Amino acid sequence: MIRTGAEYRESLKSMKPNIYMGGEILGRENLPGTEILELTCELAHNKELQHLTTAKSHLTGETINRFCHIHQSEEDLLAKQEMTRVAARMVGGCIARCMGIDAMNALSVITYQCDQVHGTEYHQRWLEYLKYWQANDIVGCCAQSDVKGHRKRRPHEQTDPDLYLRVIEKKKDGIVVRGAKAHNSFAPLAHEIIAIPTRFLTPEEGPWAVAFAVPGDWPGVKLVCRGARYRDRVQEVASPLSGKGEIESLTIFDDVFVPWERVFLCGETEFGGQLALLFALYHRHSYTGCKPAMSDVIMGTTALVAEYNGIEREPHVRHNLAELISVAELVYGCGIAAAVKSSKAPSGTQIPDVVFCNVARKHAGVNLYHEYDILAEVAGGLPATLPYSEEFASPEVGELVKKYLARKDGVSPENIYKCFAWISDFSCSSMAGVMQYAGVHGGGSPIMEDIAILGTYNIEEKKQIAKFLAGIED
Ligand SMILES: Cc1cc2nc3c(=O)[nH]c(=O)nc-3n(C[C@H](O)[C@H](O)[C@H](O)COP(=O)(O)OP(=O)(O)OC[C@H]3O[C@@H](n4cnc5c(N)ncnc54)[C@H](O)[C@@H]3O)c2cc1C
């Protein structure tokens, strides 16, 4: 089954209200961000994009939405990366559906490896779950980030052990978990929440080595949410994104029962850490698609506003555009390299190269505010002070607003307004603030990329080069 956008929206209606936002308990109708996930369904029906947005299930041979696919080859990784870039351009930011499938790919590898070492049955369970996922075109999210309490203390050292999600009881038919996951993007719009560990775990941290999936409205799951929307505009200057938004949740597991068939790790601490790392790796590979898309958006917007401002041939504008192109294509190129240099896990899943993924994510993160800086520099201050669209259309002051917005001859006041309103939305709004923080911390704080790079890279080999060139023999 490949859902249409309308079918996805319809499917949310039957989910129970467990969303706590702005003093209300809400269901899932009209939440900010719904349109983005609808688009991920629609794109799988778009004939021109189906070569990217669909895949053949390795389990059933059926054609499925690529957001439900376990990568089997280098080509799969390349297609996912390109799909992400194409889709993220259409929504001007996060495409919202990679977290869930990145977690599923990591689980495909780790459940298999854990079974080889511990004689567990996680992989078969997970395969059954994957069948359900693919047959129903499930929209999933990943809850990795524990709230973590005192950052320098390990899970078992916290004053309150619930600050990392943990198993509090094992029963014949399942487990009971308690804890919370912060920053859970689009969780209220997901059919399923996949929870996995956040960090390496020591042998005494068995209760925290847990991975499972539950429906988003499962008993005891409470989604404490916060969302942002672009400002609505009057019809005269509306854009495809007016009024649209995104949503995050503090996902609380308030003594939640999880049946064994949905438990994919329970106590095998060494695999808890590996699962955390592998999800981050797949997610950073996803970033090699969405971050270049963000740069594409900034680049195109910078070029447009430079033209409207009449400064498109100025040397500083040309230099800035070259900077933006360099960031976008280096990150994208590293993603391609990560796919080309990928390897096959014993489970059959394709794993992107660690160094190329992390170098890409690091480069994207380091440059994020620089890219916004470029846009602000070329746009001028108007995005911060632009009159609201109601005043643009006002019978009393509308004509005056239009007169004083004028820039390059021949560009209509409507187009000038739309251009600056978009820059205001994209770089100077509550949505923009969320995207900027996500650009820094999403997929792990910057230091995590350094740790992954240094943990994998062969610095010793480079030292040998230096010794050879210096003539040192020891
Ligand atoms: C908008 C947004 C959406 C996100 N969506 C998701 C999602 O859908 N799913 C998901 O699982 N995660 C998501 N993330 C979470 C993201 O992966 C985390 O924000 C990231 O891992 C950082 O964790 P933190 O926010 O708790 O920051 P912290 O870990 O508190 O980082 C703050 C600072 O403390 C430092 N620090 C932390 N621990 C230590 C330590 N032990 N020793 C020394 N320094 C330390 C960090 O390096 C950093 O400089 C999202 C984040 C954002 C901002």
What phi and psi, each to the nearest 5 degrees, are found at residue 277?
-65, -40
By 3-state DSSP, what share of the chain in percent is helix, strand and coil, each rounded to 5? 55, 15, 30
Q: Which of the listed residues 441, 447, 448 should we mutate to test ligand 1's pocket, taking the one with most ligand atoms within 8 A of CB?
A: 441
Quote the longest CA-to-CA distance of the chain: 84
Confidence at residue 465, expressed as pLDDT on a 0 to 100 scale: 97
If you count them, how many residues does the chain have? 474
Confidence at residue 443, expressed as pLDDT on a 0 to 100 scale: 85
Q: What is the mean pLDDT of residues 239-266?
A: 97
Kindly report, residue by residue over 128-174, the tens digit of the pLDDT.
999 999 999 999 999 999 999 999 999 999 999 999 999 999 999 99
Kindly report, residue by residue over 396-411, the tens digit of the pLDDT.
999 999 999 999 999 9
In angstroms, rounded to a whole number, what is the distance separating the alpha carbons of residues 144 and 355? 21
In angstroms, rounded to a whole number, what is the distance separating the alpha carbons of residues 271 and 263? 14
**Strand bridging mode 174-185 / 192-195:** unpaired
Which residues, 6+ apart, have CB-to-CB distance to 374 below 8 Å? 298, 302, 320, 323, 324
Kindly report, residue by residue over 90-109, the tens digit of the pLDDT.
999 999 999 999 999 999 99
Q: What is the mean pLDDT of residues 292-299?
A: 98
Q: Which DSSP letter does residue 205 get?
A: G
Per domain, the residue ranges of the chain are: 273-465
Cα 441 to ligand 1 centroid, rounded to whole Å: 6
Q: Which residues pair with 330 in a beta bridge?
A: none
pLDDT of residue 219 exceeding 90: yes
Q: Which atom of ligand 1 is nearest to the CA of 279?
A: 11
Question: Which residue has 């078992």 as its token pair?
Answer: 156
In angstroms, rounded to a whole number, what is the distance separating the alpha carbons of residues 307 and 301? 10
Cα 435 to ligand 1 centroid, rounded to whole Å: 14
pLDDT of residue 317 exceeding 90: yes
The residue nearest atom 45 of ligand 1, judged by CA position, is 151
Confidence at residue 391, expressed as pLDDT on a 0 to 100 scale: 98
In angstroms, rounded to a whole number, what is the distance separating the alpha carbons of residues 10 and 123? 32
Kindly report, residue by residue over 173-212, the tens digit of the pLDDT.
999 999 999 999 999 999 999 999 999 999 999 999 999 9
The residue nearest atom 13 of ligand 1, judged by CA position, is 183
In angstroms, rounded to a whole number, what is the distance separating the alpha carbons of residues 76 and 447? 29
Q: Which of the listed residues 107, 151, 157 should we mutate to test ligand 1's pocket, taking the one with most ligand atoms within 8 A of CB?
A: 151
The residue nearest atom 5 of ligand 1, judged by CA position, is 185
Which residues, 6+ apart, have CB-to-CB distance to 98 below 8 Å? 67, 84, 283, 286, 290
> 273-465: what fold?
Butyryl-CoA Dehydrogenase, subunit A; domain 3 (1.20.140)
Confidence at residue 223, expressed as pLDDT on a 0 to 100 scale: 98
Confidence at residue 18, expressed as pLDDT on a 0 to 100 scale: 98
Output b/e per residue, 347-362; b: 16+ Cβ within 10 A.
bebbbbbbbbbbbbbb
Q: What is the mean pLDDT of residues 346-368?
A: 96
For residue 450, give Cα distances in angstroms to 247, 280, 282, 291, 357: 29, 13, 16, 18, 11
> pTM for the full model?
0.96
pLDDT of residue 369 exceeding 90: yes
Q: Which atom of ligand 1 is nearest to the CA of 434?
A: 1
pLDDT of residue 255 exceeding 90: yes
- The total of other beta-carbon atoms located within 10 Å of residue 68's CB is 25
Confidence at residue 444, expressed as pLDDT on a 0 to 100 scale: 86
Confidence at residue 419, expressed as pLDDT on a 0 to 100 scale: 98
- Strands lying side by side in the sheet with 245-259: 24-26, 19-21, 221-229, 245-259, 174-185, 166-170
- Percentage of the chain beyond pLDDT 90 is 98
The residue nearest atom 11 of ligand 1, judged by CA position, is 144
Question: Across the chain, what does the average pLDDT equal?
Answer: 97
Q: What is the mean pLDDT of residues 342-347?
A: 98
Q: In the structure encoding, which two tokens stand for residue 190, read together? A: 């997901």
Cα 434 to ligand 1 centroid, rounded to whole Å: 14
Q: In the structure encoding, which two tokens stand for residue 16, read together? A: 């129970």
Output b/e per residue, 75-85; b: 16+ Cβ within 10 A.
ebbbbbbbbbb
Q: In the structure encoding, which two tokens stand for residue 129, read together? A: 């779950």
Q: Range with the lowest mean pLDDT among 33-42, 110-119, 439-448? A: 439-448
Q: Which atom of ligand 1 is nearest to the CA of 280?
A: 17
Confidence at residue 136, expressed as pLDDT on a 0 to 100 scale: 97
Query: DSSP string of 295-315?
Result: HHHHHHHHHHHHHHHT-TTSH
Q: Range with the lowest mean pLDDT among 3-17, 393-407, 436-450? A: 436-450
Residues with CB under 6 A from ligand 1: 99, 141-145, 148, 151-152, 182-185, 248, 434, 437-438, 441-445, 447
Confidence at residue 474, expressed as pLDDT on a 0 to 100 scale: 85
The residue nearest atom 36 of ligand 1, judged by CA position, is 151
Q: Which of the listed residues 97, 98, 141, 145 should we mutate to test ligand 1's pocket, taking the one with most ligand atoms within 8 A of CB?
A: 145
In angstroms, rounded to a whole number, what is the distance separating the alpha carbons of residues 43 and 184? 24
- The total of other beta-carbon atoms located within 10 Å of residue 1's CB is 12
Q: Which atom of ligand 1 is nearest to the CA of 248?
A: 3
What phi and psi, each to the nearest 5 degrees, are found at residue 32?
-60, 140
The CA R_g of the chain, rounded to the nearest whole Å, is: 24
Burial class (CB in 10 A: 0-12, 13-18, 19+), 175: buried
